[in-house]
Structure 1
Amino acid sequence: MGVGRSYCVALVGLNGYIVEVEADIGQTLPNFVILGLPDAALNEAKERIRSAAQNSGIPLSRRKITANLIPASLPKRGSGFDLAITMAVLRAADDIQSIGGTVFIAELGLDGRLRPVRGILPAVMASVQAGYPDIVVAEANAAEAALVPGANVRGYKTLARLAFDFGADPKDLALDYDPPGEDVPDEADTATLAPDLCDVSGQGEARRALEVAAAGGHHMLLTGPPGAGKTMLAERLPGLLPDLADTAAMEVTAIHSLAAVQSSAVRLLRRPPFENPHHSATAAAIIGGGSGLPRPGAASRAHRGVLFLDEAPEYERRVLDALRQPLESGELVIHRSAGTAAYPARFQLILAANPCPCGKAAGKGTECTCTAMMRRRYFGRISGPLLDRVDIQLHVERVSLADFGNSGREEDTATVAGRVLAARLRQFQRLRTFGLETNSQVPGRTLRGQLRLPPGTTRILDTALERGTLTARGYDRVLRLAWTLADLGRSDSPDIDHIGQALGLRQAAAAT
């Protein structure tokens, strides 16, 4: 007997690190020790491993077993190390042949079956990038793991069958045990019909603003009375966005693999995600966190998609202000006592709010019972620095009887999405030399440098900046909106009309 070795992956956020598992069988009384900063779930692996091995026909040694997870300073969490520890112990006892550089990622059931774990996609990505392409996972995780280019994935149902393939003596193995497969939902069965923009009656200005937001990746605030259609509009924004490219789709799928309670992806997620958390959600639910190493929240799950906060003033102010960092950087860095995790969070933020606490301060506002102080306090929960980062700020009025009677004549999602895609292609051609994709990502130095507009075109913005009605950040955001309007109009660059329209889209809510 000697020291057995196998490999696994420890995830810290979306970053994975190869963990070498050493196993040694001593000469003392029976015991099982796991070293290397294991958490409670990993410490419980000792009992799972013993029962799984016994029921698979390859019982572990009755002597002291020591499993060491290297690097020892890296915290190890979860049940995904079960299989790697088992294979290292079996190798130390000479029950199986050489493992080589194979990486094992799976949880063990007491009956010897291999159970899936979440976060399999980022774990396999990290393994391939580290030079370990041979990976063994539970059969239910195999389809998801195979999404990673360059990965040589093998999926197994049972420990007995895996041990047999690695040279274990078949005479005692429970090879006839064939547990039922894990329930993996078919993506085609679980897909829901996306809401169509033609369902929205009237609201021509709001529909145009939604198209501009989709074309340039701009953030948006919709204010208006209840029933005006703010939520309907926000829910239809993802349908206007183009499908995700390979790199973005891999990022989104990896986040959802890590965040899911039960990972079951069978193909890359190509459609932009849509997250709509309730206004009672905590900071940990929106931003990410939890005990131990922080987990991704709604903001990260909305990466490359839409984060919709309905009734925005009802959220805690500190939750809203915490979104300011990812709006600028496209990333969330969460610090906890157990470690630091960084998650991508480049989303489109859509806020919706009533004009006052009772929601009746629309039109003449004669039915509103809120005082001026109540209205200011209500809307003041959305801080000025956060609003300054929102490109489009639009007031949405109730649908008139005439517009409601003409419902069914509005453009559908496919028609508007075609114009959005054409505008995105124009942006890509112009911005690819800067390493950017959409107008919303263009930094101010580029807007005032290589993409600088003539002074006559920006005169209205210069005046607003000089008078203090527009901040420097707002100045840049109006320019980004103007470029998007020009792309939708198939113009080479914005003109005075585009600047005026962009300024109107940004200041419409404030003017009401």
Structure 2
Amino acid sequence: MLAKVYTAALLGLQSKIVEVEVDIQKGIHKFNIVGLADKAIQESKERVTAAIKNSNSDFISRRITVNLAPADLPKSGPTYDLPIAVGIILASNQVTYDASKTLFVGELALGGSVRRLQGMIAIADAAKHHGFTALFVPYENANEASLIQGLDIFPVQNFDQLVTHLMYGDVIEKHYVSHETLNHNEEYAYDLKHVRGQSHAKRALEIAAAGGHNVLLTGTPGSGKTLLAKTLPSFLPMMTLHESLEVTRVHSVVGLVTDTKPLVSQRPFRSPHHTTSEVALVGGGTYPRPGEISLAHRGVLFLDEFPEYSRAALEALRQPIEDEIVTVSRATGSLQFPANFMLIAAMNPCKCGWYGDDDRECTCSMLEYQRYQKRISGPILDRIDLQVQVHKVKYDKLLKNSNEGESSRIVRKRVQEARNKQNKRYQAINITANAELPQKHIASYIPLDQASISLLRNAVDKLQLSARSYFRIIKVSRTIADIQGDEKVQQHHLAEALSYRMLNES
């Protein structure tokens, strides 16, 4: 007897529909799984056998062949336990059920309970895209699967419950949760009002947040670089539902969402240690997974002690910063992960950390200072729009400055207003921030008057700016104009944007 059920294979952030064919024939008991299945799937034979026997169903001791099609698609993980078990029950005529529009996913425990999986939002999206109407998922994945609307989601606690439902119906209730219910607006741990002084750095971070620009903070130990960076998510624009679903898909694949918080509603803030490898940073592995830069998609990637990262890891950032995607190539094909993030880097000015400090003397030679600075290559610096010196706030000034500065809520209001202008301006080309504006559109969307062009030309000659720096300065000046409510970019906007390039070009 032959039975067909359907499941899904997770490949990067996408899912492919897999047909599970189960054939049961007379003969000596043998249980084979074919179709490019890895070791984890081969081991599912033992889990499926035990789960069926321990769930008040009969496991037929005959010749069982399971084919996972298409055969050329690599398959891994325990996703296939539940569909294989359902196929065996159908093929042995213990249950009659039309599974042509139904998808089954889940890992089985030996006792028959169904365990949660990673990447459920991608699986549900694939099911909807291919015309399936029902999706049976582990109970703990039900909220996440419900993020994709237009499917009947059935949360399964154990295999016996599922078999009873397939036989009689209405045992498992359809699951539905609105996006509003799943949206958790949590308080931020860091607020801009708690940062004393640092008006110049705060201004730079506001510009970065308003336009989606990259920032480098340079200063001595204890000057407040890390604290400033950690406040950034608190005044970034709120994520749209579309952005939340994008981020949730990435986080789901690596197991960072839970049943209680299946929707990522706050912009990510990722801060990997400087010993992080290139693969961990950009993504990859035998079965490619997103790296830190993809986990920071639509949010912030904070790299503290920037020069201490390996040269390979830093240089690997170049292409994702420009293209906003990461391409991981393997012999079996290529996968792409999103990487539209804001880079916030922080570093000391030298190896000892005290170059330029008023109170402590730097112990580095000029050669050591230059060598430390050169750990950050020119092409990487070229991609950082705002390069800011963070000076240590004097102790007596900290005591006198008892009045709190602007809160993140107030700054976020200005940032959101600036982003709204950008959304409206770039609606025709489907981008949301000045930093994303392609070079070919700059002349038409950010026209400059003759005086501004003259100022920029002089700066290019004097500072020996690259073409990339030239266009990034124009985009930063557009953001400054948006914050100030000016319709056109003027000389003083360009002058401020240029001031954030002096660190690179001096």
TM-score normalized by the length of structure 2: 0.94
SS at match of 1:367: coil
Q: What is the aligned counterpart of 2:249 among 254, 257, 260?
A: 254
Q: Given the superposition, is the C-alpha separation of residues 188 and 346 from structure 1 closer, same or farther in structure 2, using an over 3 Å criterion?
A: closer
Q: Shift of residue 472 of structure 1? A: 0.6
Q: What is the aligned-residue identity percentage?
A: 38
Partner AA of 1:222 in structure 2: L
SS at match of 1:82: helix
- In the alignment, the residues of structure 2 paired with residue 366 and residue 305 of structure 1 have an alpha-carbon distance, to the nearest angstrom, of 36
Q: Given the superposition, is the C-alpha separation of residues 188 and 73 from structure 1 closer, same or farther in structure 2, using an over 3 Å criterion?
A: closer
Q: Given the superposition, is the C-alpha separation of residues 283 and 507 from structure 1 closer, same or farther in structure 2, using an over 3 Å criterion?
A: same
Q: What is the aligned counterpart of 2:343 among 349, 352, 359?
A: 349
- In the alignment, the residues of structure 2 paired with residue 275 and residue 480 of structure 1 have an alpha-carbon distance, to the nearest angstrom, of 25
- Paired residue for 1:161? 161
Q: What is the aligned counterpart of 2:481 among 478, 482, 486?
A: 486
Q: Shift of residue 38 of structure 1? A: 1.1
Instruction: Name which of structure 1's ranges 254-263 and 418-427 shifts more when overlaid on structure 2.
Output: 254-263
The answer to whether the 8 A contact 1:294-1:340 is kept is: no
1:328-407 aligned within 5 A: 328-363=322-357, 367-405=361-399, 406-407=401-402
Partner AA of 2:279 in structure 1: A
- In the alignment, the residues of structure 2 paired with residue 448 and residue 210 of structure 1 have an alpha-carbon distance, to the nearest angstrom, of 26
- In the alignment, the residues of structure 2 paired with residue 236 and residue 456 of structure 1 have an alpha-carbon distance, to the nearest angstrom, of 37
Instruction: Name which of structure 1's ranges 74-83 and 58-67 shifts more when overlaid on structure 2.
Output: 58-67
SS at match of 1:56: coil
The answer to whether the 8 A contact 1:356-1:370 is kept is: yes
Q: Given the superposition, is the C-alpha separation of residues 317 and 84 from structure 1 closer, same or farther in structure 2, using an over 3 Å criterion?
A: same
2:441 corresponds to 1:446: yes
The answer to whether the 8 A contact 1:16-1:123 is kept is: yes
SS at match of 1:453: coil
Number of positions where the alignment pairs a residue of Structure 1 with one of Structure 2: 494
Q: Shift of residue 464 of structure 1? A: 2.5
1:51-130 aligned within 5 A: 51-98=50-97, 99-130=99-130
The answer to whether the 8 A contact 1:121-1:257 is kept is: yes
Partner AA of 1:31 in structure 2: K
1:398-437 aligned within 5 A: 398-405=392-399, 406-437=401-432
- In the alignment, the residues of structure 2 paired with residue 263 and residue 48 of structure 1 have an alpha-carbon distance, to the nearest angstrom, of 24
The answer to whether the 8 A contact 1:117-1:262 is kept is: no
Partner AA of 2:53 in structure 1: Q
The answer to whether the 8 A contact 2:188-2:234 is kept is: no
- In the alignment, the residues of structure 2 paired with residue 454 and residue 188 of structure 1 have an alpha-carbon distance, to the nearest angstrom, of 45
Q: What is the aligned counterpart of 2:235 among 240, 261, 285?
A: 240
Q: Shift of residue 458 of structure 1? A: 2.3
- Paired residue for 2:30? 31
Q: Given the superposition, is the C-alpha separation of residues 265 and 295 from structure 1 closer, same or farther in structure 2, using an over 3 Å criterion?
A: farther
The answer to whether the 8 A contact 1:362-1:397 is kept is: no
- CA displacement 1:366-414 (0-9 Å, x = unmatched): 6111112212222212111011011001111101245412044211110
Instruction: List gaps (5 residues or longer) in structure 1.
Output: 170-174, 176-185
1:452-463 aligned within 5 A: 452-463=447-458
Q: Given the superposition, is the C-alpha separation of residues 265 and 15 from structure 1 closer, same or farther in structure 2, using an over 3 Å criterion?
A: farther
Partner AA of 2:84 in structure 1: I
2:283 corresponds to 1:284: no
Q: Shift of residue 456 of structure 1? A: 1.5
The answer to whether the 8 A contact 1:218-1:390 is kept is: yes
Partner AA of 2:436 in structure 1: Q
2:232 corresponds to 1:209: no
Instruction: List gaps (5 residues or longer) in structure 2.
Output: 172-180
- In the alignment, the residues of structure 2 paired with residue 271 and residue 408 of structure 1 have an alpha-carbon distance, to the nearest angstrom, of 29
Q: Given the superposition, is the C-alpha separation of residues 298 and 87 from structure 1 closer, same or farther in structure 2, using an over 3 Å criterion?
A: same
Partner AA of 2:24 in structure 1: I
- In the alignment, the residues of structure 1 paired with residue 257 and residue 398 of structure 2 have an alpha-carbon distance, to the nearest angstrom, of 43
Q: Shift of residue 187 of structure 1? A: 8.3
Q: Shift of residue 188 of structure 1? A: 9.6
The answer to whether the 8 A contact 2:248-2:257 is kept is: no
Partner AA of 1:396 in structure 2: V
Q: Shift of residue 337 of structure 1? A: 3.9
- CA displacement 1:427-458 (0-9 Å, x = unmatched): 11211122111000111221123432122212
- Paired residue for 1:150? 150
